[in-house]
Every structure is written in C-alpha cells, then in structure tokens.
Amino acid sequence: MAIDPNRAALQKIRDPMVRELALRGVTRSYAAGANIIQEGDKGDSLFVILSGKVKVYVSDRDGRDMVLDFHGPGDYIGEMALDGRPRSASVAAVEPTVCSMVTRDALRAAIAANPDVAMTLISTLIERARIATDNVKNLALMDVYGRVARLLLSIAQEQPDGRLVVPERMTQQDIAERVGASRDMVSRIFKDLTAGGYITVVDRQITIHRKPPPRW
C-alpha cells in the first residue's frame, strides 16, 4: 500500500502544537516561484509548510524586493493576517512546496481544544518580532558592507576542517535582496573580500576562510 507523502510529512513535524494545526488544514501545492501570499491582500489563513522552502519578502513601488526570511518544513507563515488586516509581506515558494492551509475558524477550534496552541503562536510572534527589530537596527546602523558580512557569518556552517561554508548556493542578487542593497554594491564587496582572502566563491558556494573585519 502506497504511503501518502503529505501524511508522512505531517508526522515529521516535531512540534506537536504545529502538527495539530496542520492536521486541521487543507493541503495545497505550489510550484517553484509561485506566490503563496501576496502583500496587501486580505487573508484569513495561515500556512504550515509540510515540504519545500519559501521566502518572505516585501516590495517597493519600483518592483524591488527585500527578502526578510526563509522558512521550511515545520514552520508556519501568514499568521499575522489572522487579525483581519491586509497581508504585511509576500511569500513565494523557492522550490516545489506543499502547505497545510489553516483557516481562522480552524485555528480558533484548535485553540479551544488546546490552549497551548495559542502559546506556541505567541512564542513564534515574539521571536519574529525580535528578529524584525534586529533587522531594522542593522539597516539603520550598519552600512552595506557590515550587513553583507553579518549575513554571511550568520548563515555559514562550520565544517569538520574548520572552514565556514554557506550551505545555500546564493547568487549576489539573492544576497542583495537579503541586505537591502543593489547587486552592483554586493558585487564590489565580494570582489574586495575575495581579493583580501576572506572568502572564495566556487559554483555559487561561498566559503569563509577568515572572519571579515567589522568595517571595511
């Protein structure tokens, strides 16, 4: 008998409260590049990610994007729209993604059945508010170089040989969207970091050989 991949993905969600939410939703599939949530739209559902990866981003009137965060299986997105106000950011699938769409009514039923679900939501909102505050502070107080260096160090993972490697194969445009800068500016910074022996980039794989200075 074949195993339902979505059911298997549900069972892999570690947090029992999030798993309970996902079980109350309706499964939706999205192709890579498809928008799951559109900034400014009204919505009354949150989405628990069962598989795949999404990016959360905002756009200006000229169509320029700034990526706020990435999320994967076991995370949920769109919870801020449950107050009935327009969506504050867009969410797009970075790769083929499957979500469980949970309506406001289903969420209320989950909270009524288990109040700890509300505490899980509150904890996540607090954590994301802290991250947003930190990002605003960095945008206000750091120059572009500082933001690029901080991003690379924050997402790099140490390898057995002591090197720091960024697991995602990111383009310079990807990085520009993450730090709120132009691709040309990021390109200049990468050239300087490479010339200084701080990083190497091979097939979009970024390796940090030594910690970049806090200021350039």
Q: What is the pLDDT of residue 69?
A: 87
| Per-residue tokens: 75 | 């995370």
Helices (H) and strands (E) in the chain, counts: 7, 12
**Distance from C-alpha of 177 to C-alpha of 74, rounded to nearest angstrom:** 24
Q: In terms of DSSP H, where are the helices of the chain?
A: 5-12, 16-23, 104-113, 116-141, 144-155, 172-179, 183-195
> What is the per-residue pLDDT for 140?
62
Annotated domain spans of the chain: 5-140, 143-208
User: Which stretches in the chain have pLDDT values below 50?
Assistant: 1-3
Q: State the pLDDT at residue 1.
A: 38
Three-state secondary-structure class, residue 100: strand
Query: Of 99, 173, 196, 180, nearest to 146 (Cα)?
Result: 180
The CATH class that applies to domain 143-208 reads: mainly alpha
Assigned token pair, 2? 């074949």
Tokens 């996540």: give the residue. 124
- Quote the CATH superfamily of domain 5-140: Jelly Rolls (2.60.120.10)
What pLDDT digit, counting tens, does each position of 51-96 carry? 999 999 998 887 788 888 899 999 999 988 778 788 989 999 999 9
**What is the widest separation between alpha-carbon atoms in the chain?**
60
| pLDDT given for residue 3 in this prediction | 43
pTM: 0.70
